[in-house]
Amino acid sequence: MKEPVDHELLKYDREHIWHPYTSMKDPLPVYHVVSAKGVRLTLGDGRKVVDGMSSWWAAIHGYNHPQLNRAIRDQVADMSHVMFGGLTHRPAVELATLLIDITPAPLQKVFFSDSGSVSVEIAIKMAIQYWSALGRGKKQRLLTIRSGYHGDTLGAMSVCDPITGMHHLFRGMVPEQYFADSPRCGYQDEWNEEDIAGMKNLLKDHHQEIAAIILEPIVQGAGGMRFYSPQYVRRVRELCHEFDVLLILDEIATGFGRTGTMFACEKADISPDIMCVGKALTGGYMSLAATLTTQQVSDGISSGETGSFMHGPTFMANPLACSVAIASIRLLISSPWEKRVRAIEKQLERDLHPCQNFPHVHDVRVLGAIGVVELRHPADMARVQERFINRGVWLRPFGRVIYTMPPYIINKKDLGQITGAVIEVVEEEGQP
Residue pair 111/293 in contact (Cβ under 8 Å)? The answer is yes
Q: Which residues contact 283 (CB under 8 A, 6 or more apart)?
A: 58, 59, 60, 61, 65, 68, 324, 325, 327, 328, 331
Got the DSSP string for 398-429?
BTTEEEE---TT--HHHHHHHHHHHHHHHHHH
Strand order in the sheet with 370-375: 361-367, 370-375, 401-404
Contacts of 339 (CB under 8 A, 6+ apart): none
Q: Are 384 and 422 in contact (CB under 8 A)?
A: no
**Could you confirm whether 250 is annotated as catalytic?**
yes
Q: Which residues contact 305 (CB under 8 A, 6 or more apart)?
A: 132, 133
DSSP state of 169: G
- The CA distance from 256 to 259, in Å, is 8
- From the list 63, 149, 228, 403, the catalytic residue is 149
For residue 89, give every residue at least 6 positions away whose Cβ sits within 8 Å of its Cβ, in sequence order, or none: 79, 82, 317, 319, 322
Question: What's phi and psi for 421, nearest 5 deg?
Answer: -65, -40
Hey, what amino acid is at 123?
A
**C-alpha 76: how far from its chain's center?**
27
Q: Which of 161, 250, 273, 414 is catalytic?
A: 250
Going by DSSP bridges, is the β-strand pair 393-394/401-404 parallel, antiparallel, or unpaired?
A: unpaired
* Residue of 21, 78, 138, 299 with catalytic role: 21
Q: At what angle do helices 412-429 and 337-352 cross, to 10 degrees?
A: 30
- The CB-based long-range contact list for 396-402 (8 Å cut-off, 24+ gap) reads 396/53, 398/21, 398/222, 399/164, 399/224, 400/362, 400/374, 400/375, 400/376, 401/224, 401/225, 401/372, 401/373, 401/374, 401/375, 402/372, 402/373, 402/374, 402/375, 402/426
109, 125, 267, 279: the catalytic one is 279
232 is catalytic: no
Residue 217: closest CA among 274, 177, 176: 274
> Can you tell me the distance from the alpha carbon of 230 to that of 332, in angstroms, rounded to the nearest whole number?
24
* Burial group, residue 178, by CB count within 10 angstroms (0-12, 13-18, 19+): middle
d(CA 121, CA 158): 10
> Annotated active-site positions, please?
21, 149, 250, 279
